[in-house]
Structure 1
Amino acid sequence: MKTAMITFYTKENCPLCDKAKLIIEELANEFSITIEEKDIYKDDQLLELYQVMIPVISLNGEELAYGLIDYQDVRNQLIEKMG
């Protein structure tokens, strides 16, 4: 299985972000993925793009999920996209 990059767009004081982080950390144990975490409040472009969508999970630049993150949904997408 090839290694992939998950970018996790987040912000402080965000309960949905905390839940999503646990999900992607669990998936990282199963799949060959690297996680890069980005706080949208540290980048004006990211803030403008993702302000109302947080948290956002993207795989190699393609958005997989945002908002209320579902473990099984993200897992199924990883299986489909990573083979």
Structure 2
Amino acid sequence: MGEPRVTFYTRAGCHLCEEAQAVVARVCAELGERFVEVDVDTDPELRERYGEEVPVTLVDGRQHDYWRVDEQRFRAALQG
């Protein structure tokens, strides 16, 4: 298996992150994809870049969504 196609930037105690993570986990499981979850507060550069937008979802290294994950758009990006 290669690297996960999805990176999910999050932070502890973020209710939007919890909601988005459920969508990411469900869609990835259904499509046989893996994702890596990264807490932006563990790295000053990540906190600076993504801190105001978490949760942030990247697909194949490109920013896909922030604040919320649109399930249909996310699924289409993984299938396309």
TM-score (norm 2): 0.87
Match of 1:15 in 2: 15
Contact 1:40 1:51 survives alignment (8 Å): yes
Match of 2:67 in 1: 67
CA distance in 1, matches of 2:58, 2:74: 10
Residue identity over aligned pairs, in percent, reads: 29
User: What SS class does the counterpart of residue 68 from structure 1 fall into?
Assistant: coil
CA distance in 2, matches of 1:29, 1:66: 20
User: What SS class does the counterpart of residue 8 from structure 1 fall into?
Assistant: strand
Residue 52 (structure 1) shift:
1.0
Residue 29 (structure 1) shift:
1.6
- Structure 1 pair 46–3 and aligned structure 2 pair: CA distance change class (3 A): closer
Residue 75 (structure 1) shift:
1.1
> Which letter maps to 2:25?
E
CA RMSD in angstroms comes to: 1.7
Match of 1:26 in 2: 26
Please say if 1:46 is aligned against 2:23: no
> Which letter maps to 2:59?
L
- Structure 1 pair 27–47 and aligned structure 2 pair: CA distance change class (3 A): same
Aligned residues, how many?
79
Q: Unaligned regions of 5+ residues in structure 1, if any? A: none
Q: Unaligned regions of 5+ residues in structure 2, if any? A: none
